[in-house]
Amino acid sequence: MNTFYLKVIAADRIFHNGRCESLILPTLDGMVGVLANHENMVIAVVEGDIKIRMEDGNEINAVVGLGFFEMVNNRARLLVQTAEKPEEIDIRRAQEAQERAQERLRQQQSIREHYHTQATLSRAMNRLKVSRKYK
């Protein structure tokens, strides 16, 4: 099968760097699949899980934060705030973050604080979902 070059860059590290057959990622309009020789594009990425199918058929599953995806000349770059494999997720920490965010939502907040708390809750819930799904 045809492959393309993919580099996944998180704020703290290069998560993946190599060739792959396909990539499925979360966008504002839903999940998007990318194969080799896909048309050039730039799209916004939302928090969610990605699936990278490698040349050898193995899959890498991960949870990513907000970012952007770019495909140009069969070379793809995914720039995200965070990228974690399910086994890297600290489940206890994610549960505690979820509980703190739920408690903050029950309290009166400014609109800005409310949206920040919702984003924190969404991130924690997504990390928990991915850790349970792939373990």
Domains and CATH numbers, the chain: 4-84 (2.60.15.10), 89-133 (1.20.5.440)
Structure tokens at 61: 């599953």
DSSP string, 11-59: SSSEEEEEEEEEEEEEETTEEEEEETTPPPEEEEE-SEEEEEEETTS-E
Structure tokens at 93: 């920490």
Structure tokens at 76: 């793809």
Query: Using CA atoms, how far apart are residues 27 and 80, in angstroms rounded to an integer?
Result: 12
pLDDT in tens, 5-58: 999 999 999 999 999 999 999 999 999 999 999 999 999 999 989 999 999 989
pTM for this structure?
A: 0.77
